[in-house]
Amino acid sequence: MPSLVIQAGGQSKRMGQDKGLVSFLGMPLVQRVIERLAYLAEEILITTNQPENYRFLGYRLVRDLLPGRGALGGLYTALSVTTSPLVAVVACDMPFASPQLLTAEINILSQGTYDAAIPNPDDGMEPFHAVYRRQTCLPAIKAALDADQWRADSWFSQVNVHLLSKEEIHRYDPTELAFWNVNTPEELSRAEERAKTL
């Protein structure tokens, strides 16, 4: 089983408060994400630069190892501090994160050919609803950061990445909600209303 890392390191400027801790149907959003996915993992941890705010969850909390390096720095931290060969990485603000889709990504990597399985819907890649092979991805990410290349895909040419097509994604996430990030109070309210209908 993989490790599961929940990324809670964003600044949440548009939300006006820490997105991971906003209430979603009566529980902190990060807790909803974990409860949807926990059964997939043998190890769960949260990357956050405000660990005191997340201690109540009872999971291991890790600060960014390379502060100020954006999302790629967060991914580097996630792969550096886990113990499993495969690491599922999910953003804390995805209330509909899909365990079925993540299972498909895990299965793709378990076959041994690929180093990362990353959804690639029409509106762009989703590296924070993805699974990575720690041994091969970590040095490639570190090399990109050392070269001041911070783009989430700046290291892809160094590993074998499976980009899941829209058709593949839809097979496991027919609602097409898995990548819905809630960035504002309005988006949070809409997502809660949608969740009530599922």
CA atoms within 13 A on the CB side of 42: 8
Dihedral sign for Cα 44, 18, 94, 143, please.
negative
Distance CA 12, CA 27 (A): 18
Domains of the chain: 3-197 (3.90.550.10)
Average pLDDT over residues 73-101: 95
Sequence-ordered strand ranges (E) for 8-141: 23-24, 27-28, 43-47, 60-62, 86-91, 116-119, 129-133
**Confidence class of residue 98 from pLDDT cuts 50, 70 and 90?**
very high
pLDDT for position 136: 97
Give per-residue pLDDT as tens, 99-148: 999 999 999 999 989 999 999 998 889 999 999 999 999 999 999 999 99
**pLDDT at position 11 over 70:** no
**Average pLDDT score over residue span 150-163:** 93
The answer to whether residues 128 and 97 touch, using CB atoms and an 8 Å cutoff, is no
Q: Measured between alpha carbons, how far is 163 from 178 in angstroms, rounded to an integer?
A: 16
Query: The pTM is what?
Result: 0.94
Give the pLDDT score at 25.
95
Say if residues 100 and 172 touch (Cβ distance below 8 Å).
yes
Residue 148, C-beta contacts closer than 8 angstroms, at least 6 positions apart? none
Which residue has tokens 């839809």? 170
The answer to whether residue 16 scores a pLDDT higher than 90 is: no
* Residues 51, 63: Cα–Cα separation, whole Å: 7
Q: Determine the Cα–Cα distance for residues 83 and 91; give it in Å rounded to an integer.
A: 19
Express each pLDDT in 19-41 by its tens digit. Answer: 889 999 999 999 999 999 999 99
Question: Is the confidence at residue 70, as pLDDT, over 90?
Answer: no
